[in-house]
Structure 1
């Protein structure tokens, strides 16, 4: 039997658990927060802080039969789906930088250079990892992490706990936005990628005019040098493209949080 003042401890613990579900799912799918190097304990604490701020803005009561009932399971599934949709929308905008890096790296001949990606734990091209690091700095510099927390808190108004299933239009918009990932990645890589294609055409013309020339000995260093110089020149425009893609991901997350 609990002492006086502790009779509602179990209800409070269940309330904290429900509060952590949606932010935890969003942070699991979102960039930076979902990195394997981020401690789980830190993620839980941040999820609880964001979730309690969201729950305090709307009235909420636990299901009469508890979270383990049918109504409670539906509630948890809705919270997980809403959180994953919010985080995945931001992740789509963030991943355009990695796609651009893979495109440029393959064109430069650096597709064989692999690095361990701390976000996914898989090997990715070195140039894609480089642009992913730049995207991380830009995401933090524009306050993307704070915007994501604000979006999660605002989502409790349009998608209250217990009715958090995103609308079919929201899920369809998220799927269609996934197609924009390829367009955004190619747009970021276009300044460097198009110039590298011209370099490849010139090297092909040289190989036809001078068949005795070792194309592999000359073409690879020339392509690498041209790629590095072009990336240095096009860095401002590529940074603007990455920021625009991240903002598009945050905008899509806002639409889902508003129930649209």
Structure 2
């Protein structure tokens, strides 16, 4: 018997209670949280994983719906799910940081397109790197590891006692700086070469003031940038795998301590 006096199957309410954490993780996580993924798919996946969690460990739903403790428990479940997805989303911001550094030097900062993850306009180079990172994330079964972490989170953070401590919140905030560090390291090979090119063009402008920098510097930066991206792409791909592993390790640390 629930708080509003209706006799409802307890397993149904337990499933809805479990789906709060799973659904919050899918809303914040990359791939699952993309705007191109319909809400029906997210709800269906949340229900399927909720059934899996209920079959693997005993979980009881709150006895009353309209109670302050129930609202606190639901907020705690949503907080844990959002934290798991947000950690991965931080790592997926690294390609956007790298594209701003590279695109500004190449003269491609004005070229934008719709990001399939966020559904908003972003640099074209950043969208390309984000798609590449997403494919690498799927190739190492990152989506399956995320589902496994969500299921295992109920062992360390059981429903009703799932509040994250101050250290966990601080670690998430500190991990936010990793997006800038990873983006800088991702853009370092191409960015350093473009910086050297800009120094050469600056020296030419001082030695030959009549030289039109827009007619020489912009095509040269674009050509050198494209060639440098082609040459450095294997190394950038390897470092993107490092970014994926760091994000999954950070999420695992949040769940398992």
What range describes the TM-score normalised by the shorter chain of this pair?
A: over 0.9
> What does 1:48-197 correspond to in 2, within 5 Å?
48-65=47-64, 67-197=65-195
Match of 2:20 in 1: 21
Using the alignment, how far apart are the partners of 2:25 and 2:208 within structure 1? 57
Match of 1:3 in 2: none
C-alpha displacement of 1:64? 2.2
Among 226, 229, 237, the alignment partner of 2:227 is 229
The normalised TM-score by structure 1 is: 0.93
The normalised TM-score by structure 2 is: 0.94
Q: Which stretches in structure 2 are left out of the alignment for 5+ residues? A: 1-5
Match of 1:240 in 2: 238
Could you list the per-position Cα deviations for residues 192-245 of structure 1 after superposition, in whole angstroms to 9, with x for gaps in the alignment?
001100010011111111111110011111000000000010001111111111
Match of 1:40 in 2: 39
Using the alignment, how far apart are the partners of 1:209 and 1:55 within structure 2? 74
Q: Which stretches in structure 1 are left out of the alignment for 5+ residues? A: 1-6
User: Is the CA contact (8 Å cut-off) linking 2:95 and 2:186 kept in structure 1?
Assistant: yes
Q: Give structure 1 regions of 4+ aligned residues with deviation exceeding 4 angstroms.
A: none
C-alpha displacement of 1:8? 6.8
User: Is the CA contact (8 Å cut-off) linking 1:20 and 1:47 kept in structure 2?
Assistant: yes
User: Is the CA contact (8 Å cut-off) linking 1:94 and 1:242 kept in structure 2?
Assistant: no
